[in-house]
Amino acid sequence: MRVMVVLCLGLAVAGAEWVSIGPDGGYVQALAVDPARPQTLFAASYDYPDSARLFRSDAAGNGWEFVGVIPYTSVSALRADPRDSMFLYAPARGDLLFRTSDRGRTWRQLTLPGYASTVEPDPHSALRLYAGGYYYYNGAYRAALYVSSDRGLTWAVSMPRPDTVFYAYACAADPTAAGRVYLGSNSGYLHVTTDAGMTWQPANAGIPSNASLQGLSVNRDGSAVLAATSAGIYRSTDDGTSWSLSGGGVASAMSAEFSPGDASRAWALGRADSMRVFASTDGGANWERPVPGYVTSKVAGLVPDPGAGTSAYLSTQTGIYRSTNMGADWQAAHTGLRIAKISTITAGPWWTGRAYLEVSENGVFKTTDRGTNWVRCADFLSCGNICGIGVDFGTDVDVLYALEGSG
């Protein structure tokens, strides 16, 4: 009789169907917007130790669907090809590049010659890609631009200074001049090529020698270039011949990006008193902190909306957020994107409808309607995660106990 009962239970479990009830959001490792379809977004999850999952939204973040799997734990960036958005590129691990030609359903693994954290499709060529990084040459690593003319199948290595040890972290192609590419490195090094890496010229006059260049951007009419550095944001209006420090008090910048649809507007992630989003309405000459704005202590990535100069997206460890008013206000743009890692959950009696759960590296969420809706509770964590939630369920008020690494 016991065997029959166990078999019946096993069949019942095997036939059960599970439906995700949230909460929405989770760790988005990389985000891209389709330049040809600004309402279409692609998001890559961080799924250690599993492969990264790719999701797509065709409604500016209001609704997401699973597309495919990128066969690696995490990717450092996502780029949609501006000339053919069937192609997306995702660099990973420094020397790997994943490419899709069917908008993310299947991926092909390619290999870079050396380390690179991002890949930039050439706006003037349907087949050409650029990647800025560093290449092992003559016993040491040297800053290098990798150039592919066949969508990443093969690469040529171009080193601005093969006799000097330094590292490149950013590159940007000029949308108005074919072959003009900027390569930013540590120690204040910045170089420019006008022939896709055949020859190079230094282009760092005015940038401090102790600055590390983390990001580069050229506006749509080629009239200005932005350099996000550890010393602040620098701007050039003469093709990199000279640079000046932008106003606004950005002490250290992780990225600075022009809005593709409006040459006068730009966005930046940087530090003043904390990590913030900054905005510029004069082509990057001056920056301001929008109020109330966005403040974070966690990793974030910023992607301007190609369809609206006043809009941008943030990819974070808690999800995706969108601003439509130059960073003053941010709203969740991850409705239906349910990739959160839930570390612990405690539910009350069924008739109460109440439950509490903790999302790893995010916070504690509460539902009062059996998971139909979730609300993020006030932050109280010091280490970022808890390993248990105890709840004394009351009639009107619940008392919560949480165990974390700090006590």
Per residue of the chain (407 residues), what is the pLDDT tens digit? 333 333 333 344 555 688 888 899 989 999 999 999 999 999 999 887 788 999 999 999 999 999 999 999 889 999 999 999 899 999 998 899 999 999 999 999 999 999 998 899 999 998 999 999 999 999 999 999 999 999 999 999 999 999 999 999 999 999 999 999 999 999 999 999 999 999 999 999 999 999 999 999 999 999 999 999 999 999 999 999 999 999 998 989 999 999 998 999 999 999 877 789 999 999 999 999 999 998 876 777 999 999 999 999 999 988 999 999 999 999 999 999 999 888 888 888 877 888 888 887 777 888 989 888 998 887 765 555 777 787 888 877 888 777 776 55
Q: Order of strands, edge to edge, in the sheet holding 275-280?
A: 252-259, 262-271, 275-280, 295-296
- Return the pLDDT at 34: 95
- Return the pLDDT at 128: 97
Q: Cα–Cα distance between 140 and 114 in angstroms, integer?
A: 12
- Return the pLDDT at 379: 72
- Return the pLDDT at 137: 95
- Return the pLDDT at 169: 93
CB 205 within 8 A of CB 242: yes
- Return the pLDDT at 404: 72
- Return the pLDDT at 252: 92
- Return the pLDDT at 1: 39
Question: Hey, what are 60's tokens?
Answer: 């500016």
- Return the pLDDT at 390: 79
- Return the pLDDT at 61: 96
Q: Spell out the residues 6+ positions from residue 7 whose beta carbon is closer than 8 angstroms to its own.
A: none
Q: Are strands 156-158 and 168-173 parallel, antiparallel or unpaired?
A: unpaired
Stated length of the chain: 407
**Beta bridge pairs of residue 184:** 170, 190
Nearest to 384 by CA among 355, 357, 356, 359: 359
- Return the pLDDT at 406: 59
Compute the radius of gyration of the chain from its Cα atoms. 24
- Return the pLDDT at 393: 84
- Return the pLDDT at 318: 87
- Return the pLDDT at 380: 66
